[in-house]
Amino acid sequence: MPGVISSLGWQDWLAALWFIAGWSGYSHYADYRRSAQRGLVGVGHLYRLVWARQMLKRENRITDSTLIGHLMTSVSFFASTTVFIIAGVITVLGSVENIMQVTADLPFVRQAARELWEIKLIVLLTIFVYAFFKFTWSIRQFNLVSIVMGSAPAPDEDERWHDAFARKVAQVNGLAGDEFHRGIRAYYFGLAALTWFVQPWLFMVATALVIFVLYRQNFASAALKALQAEPFPKDAP
């Protein structure tokens, strides 16, 4: 273990700390602070509640079940893709020396010890394992949404229960969507982690760029402005 730790130079330590701080800091800002409510995810939650309320007014709910099926298909695609990525990283872990020989003549790749390559690959593997758990948990929660929607009351039943039921459906739907967004976010930071194999400074720049792109998408995108335009479900909560 001391040898592994000593193989990390101060540039690598700085880059790793920058990466961890950037990912955790942005996740806290985008998911848990009040600012999250004005982002793309927060606005999406409002529309989920409107969707649930409109569903309860419909006799035929085939459209709603089809939409949930499409959401599950999207998440399943990423979950399956993540399995292949994990398998690929594990394969590379078993042939680190060959990869080091291939990149030895590349002028822009910083040469490092075998232990450092293994550390970087393990970090990359951890990121995509995290993404896999997020995607699979999202799928399970979308399954729960389907079950809850199947138990929805008929339009002519007591409307006093409709609002509480709509909020329940929207909440579970939102939780599933949140896990999907966290899995996608892991993909973005996983791409940034790839640059660590080139240079620690490039890794730091890529991390900052990923945070900027995610912020633009979630808080300053044209899609967000379109969703916030009138008519907007301001009274949904």
pLDDT digits (tens, 9 = 90+) for 19-70: 999 999 999 999 887 778 889 988 999 999 999 999 998 888 889 989 999 9
Residue 73 has pLDDT above 70, yes or no: yes
Specify if 45 maps to a domain.
Answer: yes
Examine residue 130 and state whether it is found in any structural domain, yes or no. Answer: yes
- The pLDDT, as a whole number, for residue 102 is 56
Closest CA to 181 of 214, 147, 155: 214
Q: 87 and 132 in contact (C-beta within 8 Å)?
A: no
Does residue 16 form part of some domain?
no
Q: What is the pLDDT of residues 95-118, one digit of tens each?
A: 767 666 656 555 555 666 667 788
Q: How far apart are CA 201 and CA 64, in angstroms?
A: 47
25 domain residue, yes or no: no
pLDDT at 120: 87
Q: What is the pLDDT of residue 32?
A: 84
Give the number of domains in the chain. Answer: 1
Say whether the peptide bond before residue 153 is cis (omega within 30 degrees of 0): no
**pTM for this entry:** 0.88
Say whether pLDDT at 237 is over 70: no
54 occurs within a structural domain? yes
Is there a domain that residue 23 lies in?
A: no
Residue 13 has pLDDT above 60, yes or no: yes
Compute CA distances 143 → 61, 181, 204, whole Å: 16, 17, 38
Please check the confidence at residue 177 and state whether its pLDDT lies above 90. Answer: yes
Type of residue numbered 12: D
> Domain containing 126: what range?
35-58+67-227
Within-domain flag for 100: yes
Q: What is the dihedral of CA 52, 57, 58, 62, to 10 degrees?
A: 10
**Residue 173 lies inside a defined structural domain of this protein:** yes
Answer whether 193's CB lies under 8 Å from 124's CB: yes
